[in-house]
Structure 1
């Protein structure tokens, strides 16, 4: 099987994150099991599209969403592109495949008032409270991803130059300005952090109460816990804060290219998904300002 070499390719050449690599590995392994159990095919390099199509039908019958199916097929596409690149196949079985249609999911951002209410309600007393405040202020003031937040190092924040260095996808670094209010919370957090019993992971900025590195579910619980008190939204996640960051900047007239750089996107297409809310604000300005409408 060609999977181990493919995983090495993703890790060392493409420099994908461990989370992404694990997702690719699971998708391809699941398909390999399906192909062997149903078609006695063990060589993925010799798979025909009809087998892949049968897998898609099975997933649909199991009520897997079209969005999830497309993601799984995307993993296969990347795998077969690798086999093409390494000349192990001549034609990808997915060369003419068309993705399943999916409905566009509109992410509703937090309002600026909701964010400010959450931050204003912190008591700034004790390690957990100050840490939680810093987490939410960093997410909202920088738009960084949850994984980027978790992997921040002490050296990431440059107080004197009011900047923070973020390591994004594929190890791409970017610098983000640091607001004065966040610097204040950061200094308060460091004082509380010094009183913890720190383990070998002490070079990470944000820690648990036991002095260990943060983890995904804890960050989600923190964000969900605070925002569920002020918001009626069904989803209160770190990504919604990132979405709010981008939307609020665009609503206030920020340039799309600038927001793209702050978010760490590789193309404008990724950033444009955040513009639907700013269009509402743009419409207000347009209707208020256009001479024809004034009449």
Structure 2
């Protein structure tokens, strides 16, 4: 029996979920992109995987471009389709990969925006050190800047992930990959103050989540985003702020301070060092500025 194209997409997404252990948000993105590709294929009377070819993939990218899809988004869509076609080759549904002949859209490297050290210090001191919420938020912001964790990794943190004696925290990254990240003394001190209050929280015993929401469960990504932007606004930071900007700032400040790129790659949990290399451009700007200030013939 011939399996239709949408059926193979379902099989592929199951493979990514079970075999590759991709995060739910990543799976949703793949599913959205591939659903768009299936709609294009069906509009061209292609309903089975065996009929996939380079021409169909090319016309899909052209059509997406006419609909206003930028080069970066088009590259992401092509990546989703290429993953599917490679899977179909491995499953012997296709003899050759039709995406092999499709050129990837050229994407200019977009430099991440970061906060300066002075702004970071203002942000870290913004929550009060009296209320439960203030102690929680101060500890969380300290941990985020000290470790460069993704916001989803912060949401997943459990009490047992923090090793106070060794000064380490266990981050649960993409694909359930785990890594140990050092915590500096300011973050550890903020955690100690928060954990003392957490122990007395009426709903603390019902969950192992490190950072508690008002209802006693873990904070959501949206809640962390909202509180961070609120604190940034309160201390007069006029630049757009987000959890990921803290991560960008962490990486950039490390490189500016002399850390090597492989160390930063490990701390961030990047599988490929090329993902980390974008931060070297920002660090290079810092080096050039220092050169201009210090060299008599700069």
TM-score (norm 1): 0.91
Aligned partner of 2:173 in structure 1 is: 168
Could you tell me how far apart the structure 1 residues matched to 2:40 and 2:110 are? 30
Are 1:22 and 2:38 an aligned pair? no
- The aligned runs of 1:30-49 (5 Å cut-off) are 30-36=36-42, 38-49=43-54
Deviations 1:163-217 (A, max 9, x none): 1111112222111111111112112222332344438971121221111222221
Structure 1 residues 200 and 183 mapped into 2: Cα distance closer, same or farther (>3 Å)? closer
Could you tell me how far apart the structure 1 residues matched to 2:153 and 2:279 are? 19
Could you tell me how far apart the structure 2 residues matched to 1:200 and 1:42 are? 53
Aligned partner of 1:112 in structure 2 is: 117
Q: Does structure 1 conserve the Cα–Cα contact (< 8 Å) formed by 2:228 and 2:243? A: yes
Aligned partner of 2:246 in structure 1 is: 241
- The aligned runs of 1:190-269 (5 Å cut-off) are 190-198=195-203, 202-229=207-234, 230-233=236-239, 235-269=240-274
Structure 2 unaligned runs (5+)? 1-6
Could you tell me how far apart the structure 2 residues matched to 1:84 and 1:168 are? 29
Are 1:9 and 2:15 an aligned pair? yes
3-state SS of paired residue (1:228): helix
Structure 1 unaligned runs (5+)? none
Q: Does structure 2 conserve the Cα–Cα contact (< 8 Å) formed by 1:127 and 1:209? A: no
3-state SS of paired residue (1:95): helix
3-state SS of paired residue (1:260): helix
1:288 deviation in Å? 6.0
- Size of the alignment, in residue pairs? 291
Aligned partner of 2:64 in structure 1 is: 59
Q: Does structure 2 conserve the Cα–Cα contact (< 8 Å) formed by 1:131 and 1:189? A: yes
Could you tell me how far apart the structure 1 residues matched to 2:75 and 2:203 are? 43
Q: Does structure 1 conserve the Cα–Cα contact (< 8 Å) formed by 2:58 and 2:102? A: no
- The aligned runs of 1:127-142 (5 Å cut-off) are 127-142=132-147
Range moving further from structure 2, 6-15 or 237-246: 6-15
3-state SS of paired residue (2:253): helix
1:287 deviation in Å? 4.9
Find 1:93's aligned residue among 89, 98, 118: 98
Deviations 1:238-282 (A, max 9, x none): 111111001111111111111111111122211110111211222
3-state SS of paired residue (1:94): helix
Could you tell me how far apart the structure 1 residues matched to 2:206 and 2:180 are? 23
- What's the C-alpha RMSD, in Å, of the aligned pairs? 2.1
3-state SS of paired residue (2:179): strand
TM-score (norm 2): 0.90
Could you tell me how far apart the structure 2 residues matched to 1:6 and 1:208 are? 36
